[in-house]
Structure 1
């Protein structure tokens, strides 16, 4: 064993030491960990000697995403979502598909060698947003509650929604490249999604049942109560994967089932899962910087740089603008929603899936574009999150309440923010 573990541990302790002072500053956890990874990566100090396709990198990234998918899905109240669907439904139902299409079209224009299916794969890889990278935005309580909760729900659900879309796109990209037949591609998609849903339902029911039964009959200790959700995510993944299903779909479905069954019980039981997921996300970003991004930097040309910039701007902001037409939302609100679509963990793991499981002729270009976009997003969204959230909140408060459109001023029911207890949102309007 080399010095990799020591660097990861020291970086984690170092950030934890100053984390209170760094809150609200441009130095976000993502910027810190990616930066440390670059410094100790293969192209700098060379401390990390892990292959990008190594089992340790894959296991870390996949375990992290599974926990995050479970935790994010479990905190979304589907009943509340049905009543407060305006912003999330538009961002997910219209904005997300348009973002994928826009990303695919741009990829086809800039990277002419990509097939149509490969361009769609790249569009899906960079469509999900990362709540952790936008945490300062979600933490700004002066924001209009509908906007804040809209971004909260979007980031909690879009990565889970994109997982089956990725497998569908990958299957047809491999079929188009001649790696597999069309019938085999369809069968793979059905198995990935079908067994993923089945495994997720089973894992979610078992975990939620244990929490409900253990709590009502006072069988379970408080410390072990916090362990059950993480074990539920692992159970769902462990059931689906051997059957040929997607462990990520399973973890996401398990989280939704878990949240739906135990929501009326009250209390907070996913805090440990979320906190472990957040720490592992930081470690994953460190490894991303050291092992994936560092050796890719020399492959980034003007086309990849342009794609990364466009992916964070026009590819995201134009679909959001279209999705918000007719809502009455004012220009700054639409721009704010459009800008805060940071790319992070899900895109990194999707890239690893492409490396590990797919055999696409132009995977190198797709990976370079993904890594460059994530790195740029970590930087620009990290630097702008807190100041732009404060500036937008000040702009919103500067207008009299009677002049605000209902879209922005009507209070929204709260979905719990990642790592935070439920709170009323009425004070944010």
Structure 2
């Protein structure tokens, strides 16, 4: 525990210097978790670890989604709305389809349903891992906004594919099959009520804070408290309505950021402090308790699958979806490459394993963990160099 606290302190002390290197927060704390895996697994009860992994991933993802979305400006997004829309509506289903074919082709002994589930949980991109690119001032605004919006909304849009894959796979071990109509209605409900809960919560919070601040009733520091309350209120409200809480958190952040009439610097300050601490803990837990399983079950097929999902399976559908937009090839490849896999993929896998029974659960978790591990390293190493490159190329035009 002292070693972990010392590592948190050391990163904070040298965070500005480290931000200029390839040693990103996810790389450092995943590595630390992996190094301390043995002592931590021997010390902590398995039940506590399992529940803690899910709660920590959910809390971190909710806050990151809301915070990132609060910086998405509708007036700017209107000029570039077609890019994230194409990537979500065309690119994401193509990614699931291609991923299913690749997963089934590399492991024909598995079922098509498990191949679909594998592709679905590895399709959502991660807001926490994408921050290094989104917040980099050298990345052109239209690219940063596109990556931000896509990573925020694709969790909810991928969920129907995840549930479909898990449901079909679970029928192989005695569960009742679910009709396609039922799944379609469930998917529509998840997204619709998620958006509704997010809009109402974000708007109500912004209006209440504006009212209080114009009457000088609220301390500035209280803004961070209300930001956290709004993010979790959106999530809980969506869950009560039957909607997707992660979509709600992202939509609430967008609505809040575009409705609130005062400065929102308190969100950035919170995420640089408590939010960063949560992100450190989340990747440390991943390195300590999930990545070792991925390494233990790693085989040639698993490694190839992980690399393909981060490259061809991601980049090709995104490039196809952006055909006709006028973007140069380098920008299409940039958007395709920066689709890191992280907390969302891990969280979906853990939640489906808790809710459904399907064959080869350990292999699925190992595959997802290994792919996320690859993503942490590959996207972490390339984030700053490629951000500078795309910025310089843009300026030379």
Q: Scaled by the length of structure 1, what TM-score is found?
A: 0.81
Mark the CA change 1:96 to 1:28 in structure 2 (over 3 Å): closer, same or farther: same
Question: 1:173: how far off?
Answer: 4.2
Question: 1:328: how far off?
Answer: 3.3
Asked whether the 8 Å contact 1:128–1:346 carries over to 2, the reply is yes
- Structure 2 gap ranges (5+): none
The Cα RMSD (Å) is: 2.9
Matches within 5 A, 1:73-84: 73-84=69-80
- Structure 1 gap ranges (5+): 402-429
Residue matched to 1:155: 151
* Secondary structure in structure 2 of the residue aligned to 1:54: helix
Mark the CA change 1:379 to 1:194 in structure 2 (over 3 Å): closer, same or farther: same
Residue matched to 2:355: 357
Residues matched between the structures, number: 393
Question: 1:109: how far off?
Answer: 1.3
Residue matched to 2:388: 390
1:315 to 309, 313, 316: 313
Q: Scaled by the length of structure 2, what TM-score is found?
A: 0.87
Q: Does 1:274 align with 2:305?
A: no
Deviation digits for residues 129-181 of structure 1, max 9, x if unmatched? 22443444335434444334333333343334334553454445445654244
* Secondary structure in structure 1 of the residue aligned to 2:33: helix
Mark the CA change 1:121 to 1:69 in structure 2 (over 3 Å): closer, same or farther: farther
Matches within 5 A, 1:90-239: 90-175=86-171, 178-182=174-178, 186=183, 192=190, 196-197=194-195, 199-239=197-237
Distance 1:164 1:204 in 2: 25
Question: 1:288: how far off?
Answer: 0.5
Residue matched to 1:16: 12
Q: Does 1:56 align with 2:78?
A: no
Question: 1:28: how far off?
Answer: 0.6
Residue matched to 2:327: 329
Residue matched to 1:250: 248
Mark the CA change 1:333 to 1:251 in structure 2 (over 3 Å): closer, same or farther: closer
Deviation digits for residues 23-64 of structure 1, max 9, x if unmatched? 12111101000000000003x775653537622222111111
Mark the CA change 1:128 to 1:257 in structure 2 (over 3 Å): closer, same or farther: same
* Secondary structure in structure 2 of the residue aligned to 1:278: helix
Question: Higher helix proportion, which one?
Answer: 2
Residue matched to 1:296: 294
Mark the CA change 1:360 to 1:328 in structure 2 (over 3 Å): closer, same or farther: same
Residue matched to 2:31: 35
* Secondary structure in structure 1 of the residue aligned to 2:108: coil
Question: 1:260: how far off?
Answer: 4.2
Question: 1:194: how far off?
Answer: 5.9
* Secondary structure in structure 2 of the residue aligned to 1:226: helix
Question: 1:325: how far off?
Answer: 2.0
